[in-house]
Amino acid sequence: MKRSEIDGKYKWNLGDIYESNEVWEADFKKLQEIMPTLGDLKDGLTKSAGSLADALTRLDEASLLCERLFVYARMNRDEDNANSLYQGMTDRAMSLYVAVSGEASFVAPTLLKEKSSTLEGFLKDEPRLADYAFMIRNLIRRKKHVLGESEEKILSMSADFASGARDIFTMLNNVDMKFGTISKDGEDVQLTHAKYIELMQDKDRDVRKDTYDTFYKTFEQNINTIATTYSTSVKKDVYYAKVRGYDNALGKALFADNVPTALYDKLIDVVHDSLPIMHDYVDVRKKILGLDEIAMYDVYTPLVEDTDDKYSYEQAIDMCIEALAPMGDEYIALLNRAKDEGWIDVFESEGKTSGAYSWGPYGTHPYVLLNHREDLNSVYTVAHELGHALHSYYSEENQPYPTAGYTIFVAEVASTVNEILLTMHLLGTTDGNLKKYVLNHYLDQFRTTVLRQTMFAEFEKIAHAMCESGEPLTQQTLSQKYGELNKLYYGDVMQTGDTISLEWARIPHFYNAFYVYKYATGFSAAVMIATGIYQGKEGVLEAYKEFLKSGGSDYPLGLLKKAGVDFIDGDPVGNCMQVFGEVLGEFKKVMGV
């Protein structure tokens, strides 16, 4: 549809950010005038506690103005990416954001020059610095890994090529490599990344096998180049860790979230202990598909046919509201506000940004972009994005600007809690094919989000440890290690073969090292929280609400502990794997396996 053909009740109201483009232009001009004065704050930044509070307040005012300008322009552009007016406004806002960031870049280096005792004294003496206490103490924590001014300048000059390996892989993977064609229903089909995923779910096993073999043949033809590229990325990680005085690359990557490396190791160990459940799942998949032997190209095809049921947007919202009733009246009231007050942009239209997201500047309500398609996955998307939206709402309502933003480590918890509550609701209120389908969907979430991401995390740890001990990272050594992990995780039932040993070569996440483990920890936390809420366990909902309200006021593990999820002394991953086993048992029962 054209956007003009869509009823206004299905469109978000960006007027809640700016009443008009003219008001946006006025704020843009205001920020342009403010920007040159920000650098003047440097000299007096640490003169006194009061001057520090004054400076940080002014810098935050500029930052928030930047945020509002950019979000408004970009979200208007997302309505129709061909709109030249908002293309230009987005570019202008981004350029101004970069300029403001440059003017304010003195803050951390200047504070780090001060003695820790001086900064702590400022916090004690000036009540207005309370909102910045977490940020300042986090800087103090980082101090031991900050080098001298000249060394930091030299390191900063490496930024232009530090992302070189990732950029090279991105171009090779997304532009230069061509994946060939396969035959389906008598026609040639051009393989792409998106088409590969689609065809790996095909009912025809010959199509899946042909897709699998053809796709990986391209990676095999480029494997030495990719191995060299990835090796360079790992060496970069190791180099920066050494230069900054970390024990290893893993320690450096986890430092920002204040996560001990023992948690990473514990995740891997607990998943290893639970692998018999995964192996049972593989065996169940083989039996349901009626195969004598199961191969890696049989992992993605659905075990249960999707229903033909259609879910209008109104039905999807109503299903989510019903499923999320255990969250309490206040939460449901906010969902109704989101539906009725222009928070959500619902339908696909010409030029609209694809996919879905939740976003919005501090000081306004959150927004949600959808492209609703009336299938069950779209219902899950509504639940997911509203989880993000209400997390942001609670955070911004209860936190000042400096601590309202939360990190990636916890970002997916609220959205996944909503998805799991929807799953539990459907499992408790449906039967027949729909129940089987939902169980299949839930099992695949455990497999892909916990088991698979943990395997990726273990591969990253092995590759970096090899580099740190001086072992070469060649296509042979990397493929050997990856093949061994696949054998371990999928078990003897699965025919792994040599082809899957190349899979590491196609995973872009590996160029952002030690990131994927957060998917596994986030899902594990969500399972524990959602189960407690659904079962009505005493104190769970109240604790979870405190987590939602806490924003980024603490490190991730501290925030999750507020929600009753203790990754240090507890066992949320083990609990998650136990639920995986229970869901698998229920699935076997309804499928008669």
Structure tokens at 227: 């191995």
Give the up-direction half-sphere exposure of residue 130: CA atoms within 13 A in the CB hemisphere.
Answer: 4
- 40, 68, 276, 509 from 485: Cα distances, Å: 55, 46, 14, 17
Burial tier of 293 (Cβ tally within 10 Å: 0-12, 13-18, 19+)? exposed
Q: Specify which residues 344 forms β-bridges with.
A: 368
Whether the Cβ atoms of residue 494 and residue 282 lie closer than 8 Å to each other: yes
Structure tokens at 571: 């066992």
DSSP-assigned letters across all residues of 472-515: ---HHHHHHHHHHHHHHHH-TTEE-TTGGGGGGGG-GGGGSTT-
CA angle, residues 496, 501, 505, in degrees to nearest 5: 145
Cα distance between residue 371 and residue 301, in whole Å: 24
- Of 103, 385, 412, 458, which is the active-site residue? 385
Cα distance between residue 303 and residue 306, in whole Å: 9
Cα distance between residue 536 and residue 421, in whole Å: 12
Element (H, E) at 584: helix 572-591
Structure tokens at 507: 């995973």
E-state strands within 244-377: 294-295, 344-345, 357-359, 367-369
Cα distance between residue 377 and residue 379, in whole Å: 5
Of 343, 304, 301, 371, give the one whose Cα is nearest residue 11.
343
**375: DSSP letter:** S
Write the single-letter amino acid at 85: L
The SS3 call for residue 367 is strand
Q: Specify which residues 86 forms β-bridges with.
A: none
Cα distance between residue 115 and residue 121, in whole Å: 10
5 flagged as catalytic: no
E-state strands within 154-235: 181-184, 187-190
Of 357, 362, 369, give the one whose Cα is nearest residue 393.
362
Of 363, 408, 371, give the one whose Cα is nearest residue 388.
408
Whether the Cβ atoms of residue 560 and residue 254 lie closer than 8 Å to each other: no
Cα distance between residue 217 and residue 505, in whole Å: 12
The SS3 call for residue 469 is coil
Residue 437 phi/psi, 5-degree rounding, is: -65, -45
Structure tokens at 143: 């101090």
Q: How far is CA 347 from the centre of its chain?
A: 23
Alpha helices in 80-199 (DSSP H): 84-103, 107-112, 116-125, 133-142, 149-156, 159-162, 164-171, 193-199
Question: What residues are labeled active site?
Answer: 385
